[in-house]
Amino acid sequence: MSDEEDLDDLEPEQDEQEREDDKDAEEWEDYRKEGEDLPEEWLPTPLTEDMVKEGLSMLCKTGNGLAHAYVKLDLKDRDLTDISLLCSYIHLRYVDVSENHLTDLAPLNNLTHLLWLKADGNQLRSAQLNELPYLQIASFAYNQISNTEGIWNRIQAVTGLDAEKLKSLHTLELRGNQLYTTTGINLPKLKKLFLAQNMLKNMEGLENLSDLTTLHLRDNHIESLSGFSKEMQSLQYLNLRGNAITSLGELAKLRDLPKLRALVLLENPCTDETEYRQEALVQMPHLERLDKDFFEEEERAEAKEIHQRMKEDQEQEAKAEQDLEPDQPSV
């Protein structure tokens, strides 16, 4: 089995992504409620050789093809506070350390063959990683701390994600944190970015994500759709459900996304407008699906007619303004 096939098994299909997103949103409150009962401090629980042996699987050839090693490690929900032992397991390609109590992933920097990393539900304060040139999928969702405020993550800004060091990273999962800015996600090879359930109010610094096809921004505080540019020429799926977009006029800012086919805007104030679906299609004629419903041919025909009338009106206004301009005196 190739690495690419392995990754396909670990990554949800695009058709199932919206169902996965709905499920994750429902589970978010469960995470928070569980966190209210967490003790303030955890007993040190370092990783042991026995734990590693229990979690290893997937025997594969090593890089030179002359030896074999287990390349997949599942350490989910082991109450771990220290994974320093992993420094010596340099052949690992798939690592799951989710639902532990880790504050530091530095030992993983030695795993230069790493392809897939899941570190959800820890106490990470940073998503920083050193040079992992083959890493394709990284998930840091729902990082937790236990204190009098319940469970919140401390990841507030994305730092340390160096495109030169993470050359193969194509999927980044950062949902359920406290991100207030998207600045710092300068990863041109990125294809899927999950930023749901954060503190974002607008988009910035994503102009160079020309390969991005999927962007999840559900349950943030986004009011404006500024920050999307024509350089984001591969974006096909955009989920903005549960934000604070009040004006349908904001949809005009998505016109420069040439491949956008599916847009989710449920639970935004603008969806209460009577002409909501029509306005979206007028602004983005190439859109195929809005929320959970595909556009009908009748809707497309009506939107096309409105778009044509708007274009003609704009041309007439421009001509009228030109006619009002005084003639320039000849020399």
What is the CATH number for 273?
A: 3.80.10.10
Rounded to whole angstroms, the Cα distance separating 91 from 84 reads 15
Domain for residue 31, yes or no?
Answer: yes
* Domain shared by 32 and 109, yes or no: yes
Domain limits at 272? 200-320
* Domain shared by 116 and 217, yes or no: no
The residues pairing with 95 across neighbouring beta strands, listed in sequence order, are: 73, 117
Phi/psi at 118 (5° precision)? -125, 120
Rounded to whole angstroms, the Cα distance separating 303 from 300 reads 5
* Domain shared by 24 and 166, yes or no: yes
Structure confidence by residue, pLDDT tens digits, 5-44: 444 444 444 456 566 666 555 555 555 445 444 445 678 9
Q: How many domains would you assign to the chain?
A: 2
* Domain shared by 216 and 294, yes or no: yes
C-alpha angle 271/277/283, rounded to 5°? 110
* Domain shared by 222 and 79, yes or no: no
* Domain shared by 64 and 151, yes or no: yes
Q: Which amino acid is at 283?
A: Q
Asked which of 175, 197, 219 is the last residue of a domain, the reply is 197
* Domain shared by 144 and 63, yes or no: yes
Of residues 322 and 157, which shows the higher confidence score?
322
* Domain shared by 124 and 54, yes or no: yes
* Domain shared by 216 and 170, yes or no: no
Q: What is the pTM of this model?
A: 0.77
Residue 172, pLDDT above cutoff 80: yes
* Domain shared by 87 and 188, yes or no: yes
Domain for residue 330, yes or no?
Answer: no
* Domain shared by 218 and 136, yes or no: no
Domain for residue 131, yes or no?
Answer: yes
Structure confidence by residue, pLDDT tens digits, 214-248: 999 999 999 999 999 889 999 999 999 999 999 99
Cβ-based neighbours of 252, under 8 Å, separated by 6 or more: 283
* Domain shared by 207 and 124, yes or no: no
Domain for residue 47, yes or no?
Answer: yes
Distances (CA, A) of 55 to 50, 83, 101, 301: 9, 13, 17, 57
Ordered DSSP codes for 229-278: -TT-TT--EEE-TTS----GGGGGGGTT-TT--EEE-TTSGGGGSTTHHH
Structure confidence by residue, pLDDT tens digits, 110-146: 999 999 999 999 888 776 777 788 899 999 888 742 2
